[in-house]
Chain A
């Protein structure tokens, strides 16, 4: 809008809009009567096509002129009621945004009785309710599936929601909290804290050993002591900490890639991963239905 801070453009638009309408009226008035010669005229305009087709000089029906007048009245009424004449907002104060917001409010109001039933239900019952699940599925497909996948199994960087493994906890309350407020998972780069490249590689092999994945046992032994640095978040046993979203390293679920190379990369570079907050986009009841749907994916 900064391009239109000048008063010139609203004036320009007003003049064109109102002037155009009044111009149509003027044209209509000026052309409603005309001079013709009655004698010697055969009521044609003098144009002849295709040898025999003559253009008649017949008047339009009177009701036609009424349609012109109605459009002019309509246009003036429209400009008075709706935004159209430059910066004049119109008597009704209509905007696209408030129309949208009114429609959303109307739809939410219409859905209230439906959600009233859901709000009173426990998450376990909601997840089993066919109707609630169908709504949850649609909410998920339209808003969550872009990252987590339509089957909610995620992909690299986007957690699988069906496997019962949770970064921040998988109780219905925790899931609700995650959807409402979002999450920012942050692992700092730890390469320097661990020491040399060799140390990093040793720790990576120790991490692999936690989940029983094939690893270099000698290196794992060397890395065990250094893992104390990691244990601050991931725990001494590497089982993670859901309070701060530190992943469990003792299972075979690797959000950012499995294998030695991927783990070394994560130790050296760290990782910040974000899930956005949704509480502004949905009503609390919708989020409750959605959270129960997500909970139900791993608790069938």
Chain B
């Protein structure tokens, strides 16, 4: 974006003035003015919902443990009654794809809904701004305070703001780590000052990121760092709802008395009060049209509506509208009809399919997994009693939180015998009465060595397809895993 138009400059007539400028510009601090209205109200509703979830969820218990816990050390994810293993990564993939597609769908319908209402960058900026406003006052007061000489009062205000910000940021970091270390234990460690090095690092790091991004970086993150901000225009089309300024109605803009007749003054509805610029969290002027900095928060629409009300003009000089609706003068219902266009329907159909697929797959998921690994050390061997033997290792992963017993069987060859022994079994365990059964502790996985044999000569030499059937004695569910039995020449 910074290509030097050197060649062009040389062609210019000698009358133009050349100046040397810096390619890097200090950040112009944005002082968003407080605003209320329809969109602002909804943004606060979403902020409350998402943040109640974020800060509250780790404190909710499910049985003996935290309802939502990502135990990275043990590589187990606990989500309510489900226990996920690293082998369940496909579900995470599915959730990420669904999230991405939802983003596409919402963007196609109404632009940057995510950015304006739910993105953590927006949410935390809004919260930090709220704190700032409570302590330092609204836009004008803050601007005045920043330019004022240092005084006792200024120091007090700035220090209190920093204090509240830092406490809030650390609480955020603490909550974040609480998703990975049980939060009740974590709070004990905090109180007794016995945090581990990684827990300390992540609390401070996540807290610092919250503090820096929401307190200082703010719109800079959206403008220069966020990749989504830059590629979202690929999902826009002329029927996407975006925050627009009704130029035909607003121009020519100009100040006037409330009692003045705008028709006789030959003025549009825009009174050029500049409030839409003052409330904008990214510091742009919506009247210049759609800009990549616009996060679609609707603050300008809210403030303009309040101005229109005061002036006695109809609302909606700045409003959600589409490119087509503006250029073709569509009515509201005409515009809304275009929401159901092929792009949106295709996004919605794929999204629906994936959500149903994920739910069905979760529904059909067995609460345990089996992996079969053929022994690499021994291809096949003859036993003393004249049988041909293959060795396997079975990994049984118990995805429940109670001890489970599994019965092993193998099929696929005539006279196939299985020999498996749980050497650690408890003599008094009544569920171990079945032959070839094994006990696996809650949410643990276990390797078991299994020998399969057939009478020598009962199968042709080569590789034979067989399958292991592992049945949970408690839940009666069966998992079938394929493998091969090798018969040497």
Contact = CB atoms under 8 A, between A and B. Distances in A.
A28 to B, nearest CB: 10
* Max count, chain B CB within 10 A of own CB: residue among A55, A155, A300: A155
A44 to B, nearest CB: 8
A55 B220 CA distance: 19
B16 interface: yes
A151 B449 contact: yes
Interface string A130-150: 100100000001000111111
Contact of A153 (B15, B21, B451): B451
A252 B382 CA distance: 12
A155 B16 contact: no
A149 B12 CA distance: 83
Given A47-B3, A141-B447, A63 B391 contact: no
B56 interface: no
Contacts of A56: 1
Interface in A173-187: none
A130 B375 contact: no
A151 B451 contact: yes
Interface in A236-271: 252-253, 258
A281 interface: no
* Max count, chain A CB within 10 A of own CB: residue among B1, B18, B220: B1
B21 A59 contact: yes
A55 B18 CA distance: 20
B20 interface: yes
A18 to B, nearest CB: 25
Tell me whether chain A's interface is mostly helix, strand or loop, or mixed.
mixed
Given A57-B5, A151-B449, A38 B379 contact: no
B429 interface: no
Nearest to B375: A150
Interface string A24-47: 000000011111111111000111
A60 B225 CA distance: 12
A22 interface: no
Contacts of B423: 133, 300
Contacts of A46: 5, 8
A45 B3 CA distance: 6
Q: How large is the interface on A (under 10, 10 to 19, 20 to 34, 35 or more residues)?
A: 35 or more
* Max count, chain B CB within 10 A of own CB: residue among A32, A60, A130, A258: A60
B17 interface: yes
Nearest to B3: A45
Q: How large is the interface on B (under 10, 10 to 19, 20 to 34, 35 or more residues)?
A: 35 or more
Interface in B380-432: 381-382, 384, 389, 391-393, 423-424
A156 B380 CA distance: 10
B2 A60 contact: yes
Contact of B16 (A39, A141, A145, A253): A39
Given A36-B18, A38-B17, A46-B5, A150 B23 contact: no
A39 B14 CA distance: 11
Interface in A42-75: 45-47, 55-65
A31 B391 contact: no
B360 interface: no
B3 A37 contact: no
Given A46-B8, A61-B224, A150-B391, A33 B381 contact: no
A273 to B, nearest CB: 16
B73 to A, nearest CB: 14
A156 B381 contact: yes
B365 to A, nearest CB: 28
Contact of B21 (A33, A147, A149, A300): A33
A147 to B, nearest CB: 6
A153 B381 contact: yes
Given A60-B25, A141-B447, A35 B19 contact: yes
B22 interface: yes
Interface of B: 1-6, 8-9, 12, 15-27, 217, 220, 223-224, 375-379, 381-382, 384, 389, 391-393, 423-424, 447, 449, 451
Given A61-B224, A130-B424, 4 more contacts: A35-B19, A59-B24, A60-B25, A252-B384
The 10 closest A-B pairs by CB, nearest first: A59-B25, A149-B378, A37-B16, A155-B378, A155-B381, A39-B16, A62-B26, A65-B24, A151-B449, A45-B3
